[in-house]
Amino acid sequence: MRRCVPNIPIWHVTRCRAILAELFARSTRAELVQGHRWAPHDRAFWDNRSVMHLAAGTPDHLRRKLYRTTVEGDMPF
């Protein structure tokens, strides 16, 4: 995830990296992480505006099928 975030242009790269490191450290604390043990036909939904997600632990011989849906509006449920 960290390698996907660009530098913030108005800040020096060192300051940017330090701030992003702090944000990632806070957001990945154990009490904030939700794991899931997948079973056939499971579904998962999340709001990309407020959740970081990572597909981890999928064996190479298995395929993941993803569908993206966009809901009009900006009010959370």
Residue 46 forms part of a structural domain: no
Residues 4-55 pLDDT 10s: 556 566 667 777 788 888 988 998 899 988 888 888 888 888 887 778 877 7
What pLDDT, on a 0 to 100 scale, did the predictor assign at position 24?
Answer: 86
Residue 10 forms part of a structural domain: yes
What pLDDT, on a 0 to 100 scale, did the predictor assign at position 5?
Answer: 58
Q: What is the C-alpha separation between 56 and 77, in angstroms, rounded?
A: 27
Q: How many domains does the chain have?
A: 1
Under DSSP, is residue 2 helix (H, G, I), strand (E, B) or coil? helix
Residue 39 forms part of a structural domain: no
Under the banding of pLDDT at 50, 70 and 90, the label for residue 1 is: very low
Residues 41-71 pLDDT 10s: 888 888 877 788 777 777 788 777 788 887 7
Structure tokens at 10: 């108005």
| Residue 9 domain boundaries | 2-32
